[in-house]
Amino acid sequence: MQKKPMRVVVVGGDAAGMSAASQVKRRNKTAEVIVLEKTEDVSYGACSMPYNIGYDLDVEGLVVMSAKDFKEKRGIDVRLLNEVIGVDTDNNKVFVDNKATGRKYEVEYDYLVIATGARAVLPSINGVHNEGVFTLKTLDDARAIKSYIKEKKPKRCVLIGAGYINLEVADNFKRIGIEDITILKRSDRLMNEYEDEVDEKVREVLDKNGVKLVTGIDIKEIDGLTVKTNKGDFDADIINIGIGFKPNTEFLEGSKIKIDKDSTAVVVDRYFKTNIDNVYAAGDCALLYHRILDKNIYLPSGNNANKSGKTAGANIAGANEKFAGVVGTRAFDVFGLAIGKTGISLKESQEMGFDTFKTAITAPTKAHGYPIQDKITIIFITEKKTGRLIGAQSIGDESAALRIDVLATAIYANMTIKDIQGLDLVYSPPFAPVWDPILVCANQAIKKV
């Protein structure tokens, strides 16, 4: 009798889900791979959405590969508008609601991948669903914002929350002529996970570009398009809420799959396997191993969604790939100012019991005499007893983002500031001075140990 092909069911069809599905198919051509996606979109570049709005590009250009192409070119059975509403791990099946037909059905699996990502958090106040109030998380959100802007031509915008997405939105809304922008922030600090030097420079660039920032805000409600707060009313023509992400794991309630209490993300090991042997989870709905903290944490990010999905898929297909872990590297741009972070901040390190110190320098990014001159601030967080770099931040011209990659590599490799001081980095007038800012910072840090 012919053996039945292995059936892998993937829940969620974006970065993590499609990476997992593709990896299974690549390694096991006979596997039957079914992707159940509740919306009509799969595999798109969510990270470029603010720029898509700001440069008024075609939203559909964000789609990396369509469901049709996944079917035809990779042999993956992608089922759009199919929401998974429950999982029975004892009997290896998922319960599906086909939103197009209203039919409810079950699908059995040999392996299951949960890749349901996260959604934008909404504050518990009245008015978050009013017309003109948005979040920017999905492709449909981008479509809705763009058509609203086209129709209503808003001039005043209130941004609730000052995470990187709302900062990118502020920049891109300005680009399309929304002149009056106010950011409302609950805490007094603007850049919670960053050092004071970064906080200060981001405030400066917002101010220089006419973006108002009001901190220490407690929002009471949104009335129409007026945000009512402890510091007065803020009138807008458009509002975007960007206060964080929450894993989409509610549909697992009642199943035996273990959920982390604090983050509500799925608990996985370094192979992206859950507590159930044939169930994996990846991307923004799952935890990730952090190399410095030596534990799993919740850190939603696009690169890690792709990586974790790929690793889960490879392991289902028989590989034995252990995830190396993250160090928390990220970068973004606001009004031409690049900001990078890797590892942990001084405050985070001290809260976690590390004995650390901070070194911050500002240095040129081009050689002396080169016609264009720019500067960057580099910050090191060093562990006192070992001299190991455990955090770094950068802010300045676009090289800030690329230099943070060097420091992410150093942290990944457990390098000390002495090791970093010895790095053979580029010297070339358009790219770096004879003493690269990273080396300048290492030289300063070493004086403190």
Q: Does 361 bind ligand FAD (CB under 6 A)?
A: no
Distance from the Cα of residue 371 to its chain's centroid = 36
Among 8, 21, 31, 38, binds ligand FAD (CB under 6 A): 38
Per-residue contact flags (x/-) with ligand FAD for residues 286 to 325, judged by CB under 6 A = --------------xxxx-x--------------------
Amino acid at 414: N
Among 8, 9, 10, 14, binds ligand FAD (CB under 6 A): 14
Kindly state the tokens that stand for 375: 């500067």
Amino acid at 85: I
Count of residues in contact with ligand FAD, rule CB under 6 A: 34
Q: Does 114 bind ligand FAD (CB under 6 A)?
A: no
Per-residue contact flags (x/-) with ligand FAD for residues 328 to 347, judged by CB under 6 A = ----x---------------
CA–CA gap between residue 196 and residue 358 (Å, rounded): 11
47 as an active site residue: the answer is yes
Classify strands 245-247 and 104-108 as parallel, antiparallel or unpaired: unpaired
Q: Does 263 bind ligand FAD (CB under 6 A)?
A: no
Edge-first strand order for the sheet with 211-214 is 133-134, 238-241, 156-160, 180-184, 211-214
Within positions 166 to 225, which residues make up the interface with ligand FAD, using CB under 6 A? none
| Numbers of helices and strands, H then E, in the chain | 11, 25
Instruction: Tell me the closest approach of the beta carbon of residue 48 to ligand FAD, in angstroms.
Output: 8
Among 6, 47, 406, 425, binds ligand FAD (CB under 6 A): 47
Among 34, 53, 76, 84, binds ligand FAD (CB under 6 A): 84
Residue 122 phi/psi, 5° resolution?
A: -110, 140
- For residue 58, the number of C-alpha atoms closer than 13 Å in the C-beta half-sphere is 4
CA–CA gap between residue 162 and residue 169 (Å, rounded): 10
Q: Does 259 bind ligand FAD (CB under 6 A)?
A: no
Among 69, 77, 83, 180, binds ligand FAD (CB under 6 A): 83
Pick the piece of the chain touching ligand FAD (CB under 6 A) from 9-17, 217-225, 354-362, 432-440.
9-17
Instruction: Tell me the closest approach of the beta carbon of residue 326 to ligand FAD, in angstroms.
Output: 10
Amino acid at 415: M
Per-residue contact flags (x/-) with ligand FAD for residues 129 to 148, judged by CB under 6 A = -------xx-----------
Instruction: Tell me the closest approach of the beta carbon of residue 96 to ligand FAD, in angstroms.
Output: 8
Instruction: Tell me the closest approach of the beta carbon of residue 49 to ligand FAD, in angstroms.
Output: 5
- Spell out the residues 6+ positions from residue 174 whose beta carbon is closer than 8 angstroms to its own: 181, 209, 210, 211, 335
Kindly state the tokens that stand for 27: 């390694």
Q: Does 11 bind ligand FAD (CB under 6 A)?
A: yes
Helix orientation angle between 302-316 and 15-27, rounded to the nearest 10 degrees: 30
Residues facing 297 on adjacent strands = 288
Q: Residue for token digits 């996606």?
A: 37
| Helices marked H in 250-398 | 302-316, 346-351
Could you tell me if 48 and 172 are in contact, meaning their C-beta atoms sit under 8 angstroms apart?
no
Pick the piece of the chain touching ligand FAD (CB under 6 A) from 8-16, 207-215, 419-427, 433-441.
8-16
Instruction: Tell me the closest approach of the beta carbon of residue 363 to ligand FAD, in angstroms.
Output: 26
Pick the piece of the chain touching ligand FAD (CB under 6 A) from 24-32, 37-45, 150-158, 202-210.
37-45
CA–CA gap between residue 174 and residue 69 (Å, rounded): 36
Among 8, 165, 281, 445, binds ligand FAD (CB under 6 A): 165
Classify strands 104-108 and 111-114 as parallel, antiparallel or unpaired: unpaired
Active-site residue set: 47
Q: Residues interacting with ligand FAD, by CB under 6 A?
A: 11-17, 36-39, 46-47, 49-50, 83-84, 115-118, 136-137, 165, 248, 251, 283-284, 300-303, 305, 332
